[in-house]
Amino acid sequence: MANMIGYLKKSHMPYFLRLLTVFLICFTLTTKVDSAPQIRNGALIRDAEIEETLKIMMRPLFKAAGLKSDNLRLFVVASPEINAAASINFSVFINTGLITKAKNVGQLIGVLAHETGHIAGSHIVRTQDVLRKSSLLAMATTALGVAAMLAGSGDAGMGLIHGGQAMAQGNYLHYSRGQEAAADQAALRILSNLHWPVIGLKEFFDYLAKQEYYSTDRRDAYLYTHPLSSERINLIDNFLSKHNDASLIFPSDFDQLFDRIVAKIFAYTNTPFTTFLKYPQSRADFSARYARAIAYYRNNQSQQAIDMLDDLTKAHPNDAFIHELKGQIFFELGQLQTAITHYQQAHQLLPASGLIHLGLLQIESALESKSSQTIINELKQIKLNEQENPQLWHLMAVAYSRMHDEGRAAYALAEKALYQDDTDQAYKQIKRALHFLKSGPEIIAAQDLLNELKLMPDSQD
């Protein structure tokens, strides 16, 4: 997407968490392509707009559940399967299929409230033996589809488990009916506390109930990881019979935010031709024009994309995500000065977005329009929330190298290699770092990283 980088947050997480990076698809600003590629099924994707929109919806849910919203770790998985799951460390996995196939924002929020209920109820597998034997990817893919395969549906979840089946076998997340009912009750309580409607969750359950009459290979994976029961449906019905849900509404901007990310995901995960069919020229709403602009961009029709985005900017001059997308397009056209202008505007409008800030720094690094020390200082600020972003460590290495600080440059390259699942290169670079580093906290960090690498399979020691 506009700036899509596969990653996981960490504070030197154990190896089973880092294994995820090998399966991530990374579209960084350094990628020069003829047209934006279609997202590969099963990839974890990063996009500033999609993440921010989902967090806008989930932060109130976390707060109402008594959880700290700062702890939320959100992962979007490119998969047409309708599914979502909660996992360890306040992590929530959301399939793009759940977002694009939801009939309205209420259905999406109902599922997000349910997953928040799982986290609040501590329903997540904690067995340390399982955690040692399963990477986070294995747990995520299982929660989002592998259970369907293990239950006998060979097609369900196949795209997600490609390459990860061996790790996931026998160590999958699966909620009991009792936990499902408890999460439902928590979701009702959370939505009620927020004075948000519950009908979306009811509509989603009605959809799942119809799925139970299908053959196993036609059911959505959600049914295998979240077993449905008549008692769960009755719980929602009883709640609605006692509460005037029709008078409740979501915040006024939720519908538009939802429509935008649906259009964006659809345009990136389908062919441009399919996008033009779903969002024809006869539609003049924002989301349709946004989707067509992305389709033009992906179809190597950059000028048409820019013209459409210019029109959108006239109506929405303070939209950071339009400027971000325009910056991405101009970067790929090699027009760096124009690209940096749009990224600067996006960053000014949304300074808290680490992904937008990172995109800006990449262009500034390429143009050498900022000192290396300034770039390093800003990267350190971003690193608080983007620690496992390979591009961040790449830019850090470039900046240190320009300052002739070989030790810190090597350390940054080791971190980058680790998050790209290149343990051999990580091992070599961390040894170089320890050779050059003479003082500072980086020596301790480098030694810790070396010790961690030695514990990994196929280590060089």
Token pair 């519950």 is at which residue?
Answer: 198
Residue 47 inside a domain? The answer is yes
Residues 176 and 289 in one domain: no
44-45 and 73-77 as β-strands: parallel, antiparallel, unpaired?
Answer: antiparallel
* Residues 322, 383: Cα–Cα separation, whole Å: 24
Q: Tell whether the model's pLDDT for residue 74 goes beyond 90.
A: no
Residues 340 and 240 in one domain: no
Residues 156 and 296 in one domain: no
Mean pLDDT score, 193-218: 79
- At residue 454, the pLDDT reads 77
388 vs 301 pLDDT, higher one? 301
User: Which of 73-77, 147-151, 178-182, 272-276 has the largest mean confidence?
Assistant: 272-276
- Tell me the pLDDT tens digit for each residue of 146-178: 333 433 444 444 444 443 333 333 333 445 667
pLDDT more than 90, % of the chain: 51
- At residue 133, the pLDDT reads 36
Residues 90 and 226 in one domain: yes
Domain stop point among 199, 230, 247? 247
Three-state SS at 220: coil
Q: Tell whether the model's pLDDT for residue 263 goes beyond 90.
A: yes
Residue 297 inside a domain? The answer is yes
Buried b (16+ CB within 10 A) or exposed e, 154-184: eebbbbbbeebbebbbebbbbbeeebbbbbb
Question: Residue type for 435, please?
Answer: H
Q: Tell whether the model's pLDDT for residue 71 goes beyond 90.
A: no
- Tell me the pLDDT tens digit for each residue of 98-137: 999 999 999 999 999 999 998 887 756 543 334 333 344 4
Q: In the predicted model, what is the mean pLDDT of the chain?
A: 79
The CATH code of the domain that includes 392 is 1.25.40.10
Residues 188 and 302 in one domain: no
Q: Tell whether the model's pLDDT for residue 338 goes beyond 60.
A: yes
Q: What is the DSSP string of 86-134?
A: EETTTEEEEEHHHHHH-SSHHHHHHHHHHHHHHHHTT-S---HHHHHH-
- At residue 212, the pLDDT reads 61
pTM for the predicted model, two decimal places: 0.80
- At residue 80, the pLDDT reads 85
Cβ-contact 120, 129 below 8 angstroms:
no
Cβ-contact 275, 251 below 8 angstroms:
no
Residues 427 and 358 in one domain: yes
Task: Count how many domains the chain has.
Answer: 2
- At residue 155, the pLDDT reads 45
Q: Tell whether the model's pLDDT for residue 461 goes beyond 70.
A: no
> What pLDDT band is residue 36 in, cutting at 50, 70 and 90?
low
Residues 118 and 209 in one domain: yes
Residue 327 inside a domain? The answer is yes
Q: Tell whether the model's pLDDT for residue 365 goes beyond 80.
A: yes
Domain that holds residue 338: 272-454
Residues 305 and 369 in one domain: yes
* Residues 441, 419: Cα–Cα separation, whole Å: 21
For 27, which DSSP code? B
Residue 417 inside a domain? The answer is yes
Residues 223 and 307 in one domain: no
- At residue 3, the pLDDT reads 46
- In sequence order, the 6+-apart residues with CB closer than 8 A to the CB of 16 are 131, 132, 133, 134, 135, 136, 138
- At residue 218, the pLDDT reads 56
Residues 152 and 59 in one domain: yes
Residue 83 inside a domain? The answer is yes
Residue 430 inside a domain? The answer is yes
Residues 182 and 318 in one domain: no
- In sequence order, the 6+-apart residues with CB closer than 8 A to the CB of 372 are 398, 399, 400, 402, 403
Residue 9 inside a domain? The answer is no
- Tell me the pLDDT tens digit for each residue of 398-451: 999 999 999 999 999 999 988 887 888 999 999 999 999 987 788 888 888 888
Mean pLDDT score, 321-348: 96
Residues 147 and 287 in one domain: no
* Residues 92, 199: Cα–Cα separation, whole Å: 22
Residue 77 inside a domain? The answer is yes
